[in-house]
Amino acid sequence: MKRSFGMTIAGLAMTGLATLGATSASAAPVQGFNIKNVVSGKCLKFNGFDKRVTAVKCNTGDAKQNWANYPGDEIISAYANPAAGPCLVTKKNSGGAVYAKKCTSDPSTWSAAWSVNSFHDGEKAIYGNGLGRCFLKVSGGNAVCTPGHTTEQKWWVADYN
């Protein structure tokens, strides 16, 4: 069931960042999609464990740009081992830079818990991290997580092409 833009924003605002830790139960696990920013047209790229995730020109043939939503609320690189990750993470309580780390990285420092309102091909979505108190966006050539979700820079699509 599609949600309208206004209802999605209103729903996120009403639930608050503290409750953004869980992915919708209707989101089924998928493999191999690019996470593409609507404004910049850039896709997230895995650059190795413990390295920053960058935003680069999209290339569906680049395995390091393929991601998957793991059961629960983690987003993993489809390039690596789903049991160990790497997971897309940001710092708890402050957000900031987005890294690819082991899914079991120090939970007192890192949050791999993302709430995404859609993994449907080409459908706009916001990637929120409740424990990081932030939303995913592109800054220069990097993925970052910053407070607030009202800017179009924080809209993404899953690209399965």
Q: Where are the domains of the chain?
A: 5-159
Whole-number pLDDT of residue 125: 96
Q: At 21, is the pLDDT very low, low, confident or very high (cuts 50, 70, 90)?
A: very low
Whole-number pLDDT of residue 124: 96
Q: Which distant-in-sequence residues (6+ apart) come within 8 Å of 141 by Cβ?
A: 42, 54, 55, 56
What are residue 124's DSSP bridge partners? none
> CA-CA distances (angstroms) from residue 142 to 18, 76, 128?
25, 17, 17
In 3-state terms the chain splits into helix, strand, coil percentages (rounded to 5) of 10, 40, 45
Topology, domain 5-159: Trefoil (Acidic Fibroblast Growth Factor, subunit A) (2.80.10)
CB atoms near residue 47 (< 10 Å)? 15
Q: What is the pLDDT of residues 28-80, one digit of tens each?
A: 434 689 999 999 999 999 999 999 999 999 998 899 999 998 877 889 998 87
- What is d(CA 110, CA 132) in angstroms, rounded to the nearest whole number? 8
- Of residues 144 and 19, more confidence is placed in 144
CB 81 within 8 A of CB 49: no
CB atoms near residue 82 (< 10 Å)? 16
Span between the terminal Cα atoms of the chain, in Å? 22
pLDDT at 27 over 60: no
CB atoms near residue 66 (< 10 Å)? 22
Whole-number pLDDT of residue 158: 95
Highest mean pLDDT among 4-8, 9-13, 24-28, 72-76: 72-76
Q: At 85, is the pLDDT very low, low, confident or very high (cuts 50, 70, 90)?
A: confident
pTM of the shown model: 0.79
3-state secondary structure of 35: strand
Q: What is the pLDDT of residues 116-141, one digit of tens each?
A: 999 999 999 999 999 999 999 999 99
